[in-house]
Amino acid sequence: ALIYFEAMTTVALIVGLALAFIVGPGHGMNIDPSMLDAKAITTHAENAHKLQGGGVGTFILNIIPTTSFDALARNDVLQVLCFAVIFGVSLALVGEKAQQVTSMIDAVSTVLFRAMGLIVRVAPFGVLGAVAYTVGRYGVGSLKQLASLVALFYVSIAVFVFVVLGVVMRLAGLSIFRFLAYLREELTIVLATASSDAVLPQIMRKLEWMGVKKSVVGLVIPTGYSFNLDAFSIYLTLATVFIAQATNTPLSLGDLLLILGVSLVTSKGAHGVPGSAIVILAATLNAVPSIPAIGLVLVLSVDWFIGMARALGNLIGNCVATVVIAAWEKDLDHAKAKEVLYGKFIVDVTAG
């Protein structure tokens, strides 16, 4: 699995790097780095510094929360998940005595998801404000380059999904188009919310229903969100080169190879970092001395638009990885998979 993850991540990084270098979406912005507002990225830069500052031991220790309330207040996803896992295991061990607590959690979850829906509805107003600020400060011309960046990212995701992952799925004996049609409901939710967290349980059940062994699903999906963020990898190199072009920073072959090498390292574990995309991008820019890290503020206003395709691409990449790895390990029922994908076998999507 790790070999597959590294191979796909490398290909994704190269796709983003190549398309950014060929198309040049940042050319013409002519941004002077000294005119950019550093306050806009202060928090992200601090998180990036923390990410770079420790080794594996520090990373593991940082997963352990001081208190559950502290983790929630600081929006530390890894610490919240650590507490949730411990609490969930404890509930399971208690058994029937914990039924009231479980019912209360279900009720609270319903309320929180409703609140999340309300927030998603008003999110476009925040995006409008961010875009308006960028246009007002850097001119209408900047909108064209930012739109080019967003459009190029969507094209990059399409190329990677339908060409690269399409070939990989074909080698496994399945069709990428049929596979995406099978997951269309979950993919629609991810595209609308820019987050895959809410649909992961259903995605994992669907992969099992189409013949993937449960142990493979349980291993590859969680691991993939640390080591196989394909769309995020594309964004990392694409945004880095965009910032270099926007600030008129020349890039040599050595610089491009450095970006590729640094991104291969910094892209790991991004899913559990608060504000992961911007934080990891900040860490990457800090590791590439030729590119001004302050240029990060240029992509903040369009991160929401990019985030939708980023979440979608990451999910598709990990779903394909699960199927392909299962096929290679002979843990995939090919006959059942084809029956499900071609509609000959109808699964009950409401079943637990």
Q: Which helix (H) or strand (E) holds 188?
A: helix 184-193
User: What phi-psi label fits residue 343: left (phi over 0), alpha (psi between -120 and 50 degrees) or beta?
Assistant: left
Confidence at residue 139, expressed as pLDDT on a 0 to 100 scale: 67
| Pairwise CA distance, residues 18 & 7, whole Å | 16
Residue 336 lies in a domain: yes
Q: Residues 213-221: what's their mean pLDDT?
A: 88
Q: Mention every residue, 6+ apart, whose C-beta is less than 8 A from residue 56.
A: none
- What CATH number is associated with residue 142? 1.10.3860.10
- pLDDT at residue 201 is higher than 90: no
What pLDDT digit, counting tens, does each position of 64-110 carry? 888 888 877 776 656 776 787 788 888 888 888 888 888 898 888 77
Confidence at residue 274, expressed as pLDDT on a 0 to 100 scale: 47
Counted domains in the chain: 1
Q: Residues 334-349: what's their mean pLDDT?
A: 74
Confidence at residue 297, expressed as pLDDT on a 0 to 100 scale: 79
Residue 68 lies in a domain: no
Tokens of 247: 């600030």
pLDDT band, very low/low/confident/very high, at 352 (cuts 50, 70, 90)? very low
- pLDDT at residue 136 is higher than 70: yes
DSSP 8-state class, residue 291: S
Burial class (CB in 10 A: 0-12, 13-18, 19+), 157: buried
pLDDT band, very low/low/confident/very high, at 301 (cuts 50, 70, 90)? confident
- pLDDT at residue 350 is higher than 50: no
Look at 37-46, 172-181, 266-275 and tell me which has the smallest mean pLDDT: 37-46
| Angle in degrees, 0-180, between the axes of helices 2-23 and 303-328, rounded to the nearest 10 | 140
Residue 97 lies in a domain: no
Residue 210 lies in a domain: yes
Residue 11 lies in a domain: yes
Q: Choose between 278 and 168: higher pLDDT.
A: 168
- pLDDT at residue 349 is higher than 60: no
What pLDDT digit, counting tens, does each position of 178-192 carry? 999 999 988 988 888
Confidence at residue 60, expressed as pLDDT on a 0 to 100 scale: 66
Confidence at residue 321, expressed as pLDDT on a 0 to 100 scale: 94
Residue 258 lies in a domain: yes
Q: Residues 233-262: what's their mean pLDDT?
A: 88
C-alpha closest to that of 279 among 261, 304, 257, 296: 296
Q: Choose between 28 and 246: higher pLDDT.
A: 246
The amino acid sitting at 264 is L
CA distances from 156 to 53, 118, 181, 235, 318 (A): 32, 31, 20, 9, 17
Q: Which long-range contacts (CB under 8 A, 24 or more apart) does 180-188 make?
A: 180/316, 181/341, 182/206, 182/210, 182/340, 182/341, 183/316, 183/319, 185/349, 186/315, 187/312, 187/315, 187/316
Percent of the chain surpassing pLDDT 70: 79
Confidence at residue 115, expressed as pLDDT on a 0 to 100 scale: 76
What pLDDT digit, counting tens, does each position of 104-131 carry? 988 887 787 677 667 667 766 776 776 6
Residue 78 lies in a domain: no
Confidence at residue 85, expressed as pLDDT on a 0 to 100 scale: 78
Q: Mention every residue, 6+ apart, whose C-beta is less than 8 A from residue 172.
A: 323, 324, 327, 328, 332
- pLDDT at residue 296 is higher than 60: yes
Residue 106 lies in a domain: no
Whether the model clears a pTM of 0.75, i.e. scores above it, the answer is no
Domain span at residue 286 reads 2-63+138-341
What pLDDT digit, counting tens, does each position of 15-70 carry? 999 999 899 888 887 777 666 655 555 554 555 555 555 554 565 677 788 888 88
